[in-house]
Amino acid sequence: MAEPIEKVSIVISKGSLEGVYPGLIMANGARMEGIEATLFFTFFGLDAVIDKRMDHLKVATVGNPALHIPTIVGGLPGMSAMATKMMSKEMEKIDIPPVREFIEMIHDAGCDIYGCKATVDMFHLKKEDFCEQVDDIITVGDFYEKSAGAQIIFT
C-alpha cells in the first residue's frame, strides 16, 4: 500500500469566496484525518484573514463560465452579492461555516496559519490588520522551511 499523507501545506492565493473555500475545506479535512496542516495566504488570498474583510468575501460573477451567467449579466450591480448570498446559504445547509468561524475552527484544530510577507509589504499591511489566528507573516523561504516533508497544494 502507498504511504499515507502525513503533512500538507496549502497555499490560498485568491480572494473570492470560491477561491478561498476549497483550501479551507482541504485544511480542515486534513486535520480531521489526523494529517498535519499549514495554511499560507498570499496575494488576494490574504483577504480571508484580514479582520475587516474576511466577513465580506464575494463570489466572482464575471469571467467564470461554470457559473452559467453571461459575463455581461454577471457584471450588473448586485449580481455578486446575490450569488454570494445564495452560495453562503447552500454552504450553511451542509455545515460549511462562514470564513471567520471556519478559520477559528481550523486554527483550533492545530493548523498553523501564515500570511505572505511580499504581499503584506506590497499592500502596506500590518500584523494588526489580520485576525488573531494568523500566527505570523513569513517569507517564501520560511514557507518552504515550514513545509519540510509536506505535500504543497496551491489554490
Partner 1 sequence: METIELIGREIELDEDGNLKNISDWNEEIAVELAKQEGIDELTDRHWAVINYMRKEYEEKGTAPSIRRLTKESGVPTKELYQLFPKGPAKKAARIAGLPKPKGCI
Residues in touch with partner 1 (CB under 8 A): 25, 28-29, 31-34, 94-97, 104-105, 108-110
Nearest approach in angstroms of CB 132 to partner 1 is 14
Q: What is the DSSP string of 85-135?
A: HHHHHHHHHTTPPPHHHHHHHHHHTT-EEEEEHHHHHHTT--GGGB-TT--
Nearest approach in angstroms of CB 94 to partner 1 is 7
CB nearer partner 1, residue 17 or residue 116:
17
CB nearer partner 1, residue 103 or residue 120:
103
Nearest approach in angstroms of CB 117 to partner 1 is 28
- Check if the beta carbon of residue 105 is closer than 8 Å to that of residue 32: no
